[in-house]
Amino acid sequence: MLAPATSSGTNTLRSVEQQINQLQTLRHRRRPFLPFPTPWEQAYLQHRQQRFLEVDFAMMLIGMVLYLSFAWADWVFGGDQSMWMIAVRAMLTLALLLLALHLRQQQSARLIPMTAIGIALVGCSIVAFTTQLEGSIRFAYHIGIIPVQVFAMVLLRNSVRSFLTCSLAMLGVYIFTAWWLDEQASNAVEAALLSLRPLFILFWLLLIILGTYLALAMERVSRLEFVQNRALELEAQRQQHLVEQLHQLSITDGLTGIANRRQFELRLQEEWQRARRYGQWLSLLMIDVDDFKAFNDTLGHPSGDAALRQVAAQLHSVCQRSGDVCARYGGEEFVLLLADTPAEAAHALAERVRQLVLALDICHPASKRAWLSVSVGVASRQVDGSDSAAALLRQADQALYQAKRQGRNQVCLAASSVSS
Ligand SMILES: Nc1nc2c(ncn2[C@@H]2O[C@H](COP(=O)(O)OP(=O)(O)OP(=O)(O)O)[C@@H](O)[C@H]2O)c(=O)[nH]1
């Protein structure tokens, strides 16, 4: 029967519509940050990853090359400390490169948080270098933290959380180190530079505030774009479900849930053509409920409807093969189209159908048999170019008429079926 398929389609449609409504609510939220429910958050991270992966990865490589290239400064100004500073630079760059390559290959959504950790480590390494250097040159290393902060602004532009965590971690380490070491100036220039440190921290803070604002705006745009794309995808799914449902409705009988006459006529033409191509047998059973007007008149139309549904279910149960079609032809008349089935097999099946309906034990007070029964007309032919599907239908109808004339509750095989 077609009805259950339609109801599962309705459930899917409802779930798609619920998601569209949820997305609409999200879209109209005024808050600067747009968090998603967990499954969508995962999908969003994946989407962001795919969109920016290549461009961000190139930027990371540039950052690593720049960081490593400053080994020359360690070599020239590092004095006794130069070797370990270069070693730290090289090892950190190598570790970050391997990690970035791995996460890129995995298409992992952790690339952004890992980038934040990597940038924070680079920043901390520069703070560590400043603690080891002697003389005024160490203040050039202090300034070196600013390009790192700018890289954080660029690479973490779509993730406020990662940007803030990374930036505040670097600033925190810097302030803590400055306070803990309590550096002393050895000349007037150093004293002037040390007195400028609060200003430096203030500039840095301004940079972080600016970066946070940019990241919030960029992330919001990126999330809204994701919501919009998802809504479009779901809308396309909704349209497709609606078209499928409409199609199902157009080929289904509303009362019984089996195929309707329209669908039967289409399938009859298809099966007729197929049988003609392969020279196969095609059989048609026309089934009519006996004395149904009297049934309705005595038990009422609702009981008549219920009886028709039960009969349809029995008929449907005998259609086992994919080429078989069970349809309501109209009123209390049904048809079974049996592909690749010769006359004897069709006759046997028709007899089974008749008995199955009797076995329903539906009481029919106005019938002389006392139980609801059907008459069946059977027409079969081995299809060639000499005849038409309409002729097969006519023959089945004539056989049904004969079954009615002979007293109902019986099966009649069309004469033409035997001679074929
Ligand atoms: N309850 C109900 N009755 C229907 C439906 N479609 C057709 N009928 C009734 O089926 C009856 C068919 O009556 P007839 O064509 O006179 O045939 P019959 O009484 O079955 O007599 P025979 O076919 O000669 O045995 C009519 O009373 C229709 O109203 C339906 O969907 N529901």
* pLDDT at residue 39 in the model: 82
Q: What is the mean pLDDT of the chain?
A: 90
Residue 184 makes CB contacts below 8 A (sequence gap 6+) with none
Contact 54, 111 (CB under 8 A): no
Examine the pLDDT at 144 and tell me if it is beyond 80: yes
Per-residue pLDDT, 319 = 87
Give the residue-averaged pLDDT of 77-101. Answer: 93
Q: For residue 420, name the pLDDT band (cuts at 50, 70, 90).
A: very low
pLDDT value for 5: 45
Residue 344 falls in the annotated catalytic set: no
- The span from the CA of 46 to the CA of 43, in Å, is 5
105-123: pLDDT as tens digits: 887 778 889 999 999 999 9
The proportion of the chain whose per-residue pLDDT surpasses 70, expressed as a percent, equals 97
CA of 76 from ligand 1 middle (Å) equals: 105
Lowest mean pLDDT among 76-80, 208-212, 239-243, 265-269: 76-80
Nearest atom in ligand 1 to the alpha carbon of residue 255 is: 31
- Ramachandran sector of residue 321 (left: φ over 0; alpha: ψ -120 to 50; beta: rest): beta
With the most atoms of ligand 1 within 8 angstroms of its CB, the residue from 332, 333, 401 to mutate is 332
Residue 41 has pLDDT above 90, yes or no: no
Q: Is 308 in the pocket of ligand 1 (CB under 6 A)?
A: yes
Binding site membership of 51 for ligand 1 (Cβ less than 6 Å): no
Residues 6+ apart with CB under 8 A from 400: 286, 287, 288, 375, 376, 377, 412
Give 90's pLDDT tier (boundaries 50, 70, 90): very high
Q: Which of 256, 288, 293 to mutate to test the pocket of ligand 1 (most atoms within 8 A of CB)?
A: 293
Phi-psi region of 280 (alpha: psi -120 to 50; beta: other; left: phi over 0): beta
Q: Which amino acid is at 123?
A: G
Q: Is 122 helix (H, G, I), strand (E, B) or coil?
A: helix
* Residue 86 phi, psi (nearest 5): -65, -40
Quick check: ipTM above 0.85? Answer: yes
Q: What is the pTM of this model?
A: 0.64
pLDDT value of residue 7: 63
Predicted confidence band of residue 30 (pLDDT cuts 50, 70, 90): confident
Instruction: Check whether 126 has a pLDDT greater than 50.
Output: yes
H or E stretch covering 288: strand 281-289
Exactly one of 233, 332, 333, 351 is catalytic; name it.
332
Percent of the chain with pLDDT over 90: 65
Question: Residue 6 pLDDT > 80, yes or no?
Answer: no
pLDDT in tens, 280-311: 999 999 999 999 999 999 999 999 999 999 99
Ligand 1 centre to CA of 198 (Å) is 97
Higher pLDDT, 85 or 420: 85
3-state SS track over 143-206: HCHHHHHHHHHHHCCCCHHHHHHHHHHHHHHHHHHHHHHCCCCCCHHHHHHHHCHHHHHHHHHH
Q: Which tokens in the block code for residue 286? A: 């026309």
Q: What distance in angstroms lies between residue 293's CA and the mean position of ligand 1's atoms?
A: 4
The sign of the torsion formed by the CA atoms of 69, 75, 76, 82 equals: positive
**What's the pLDDT score for residue 412?**
97
Is the beta carbon of 305 within 6 A of some atom in ligand 1? Answer: yes
Distance CA 275, CA 267 (A): 12
In short, whether 253's Cβ falls inside 6 Å of ligand 1 is: no
User: What domains does the chain contain, in order, with CATH numbers?
Assistant: 3-235 (no CATH), 261-419 (3.30.70.270)
Q: State pLDDT tens for residues 153-199.
A: 999 998 899 999 999 999 999 999 988 887 777 788 888 888 888 99
Per-residue buried b or exposed e for 115-140, using 16+ beta carbons within 10 Å of the residue's own CB: bbbbbbebbbbbbebbebbeeeebbe
Cβ atoms of 197 and 178 closer than 8 Å: yes
Distance CA 87, CA 84 (A): 5
First to last CA, the chain: 32
Angstrom CA distances, 155 to 52, 165, 302, stand at 10, 13, 70
pLDDT of residue 370: 93
The predicted structure's pLDDT at residue 2: 41
Closest residue to atom 3 of ligand 1, CA basis: 304
Per-residue model confidence (pLDDT) at position 208 = 96
pLDDT confidence band for 202 (50 / 70 / 90): very high
293 lines ligand 1 (CB under 6 A): yes
332 in contact with ligand 1, CB cutoff 6 A: yes
| Maximum distance among all Cα pairs of the chain, rounded to whole angstroms | 127
Determine which residue's CA is closest to atom 27 belonging to ligand 1: 293
Using the atom order of ligand 1, give the atom closest to the CA of residue 330. Answer: 6
In tens, the pLDDT along 335-362 reads 999 999 999 999 999 999 999 999 999 9
Torsion of CA 217, 219, 223, 228, to 10 degrees: 50
Residue by residue, DSSP assigns 66-109 as HHHHTHHHHHHH-GGGHHHHHHHHHHHHHHHHHHHHHHHHTT-T
Nearest CA owner, ligand 1 atom 8:
331
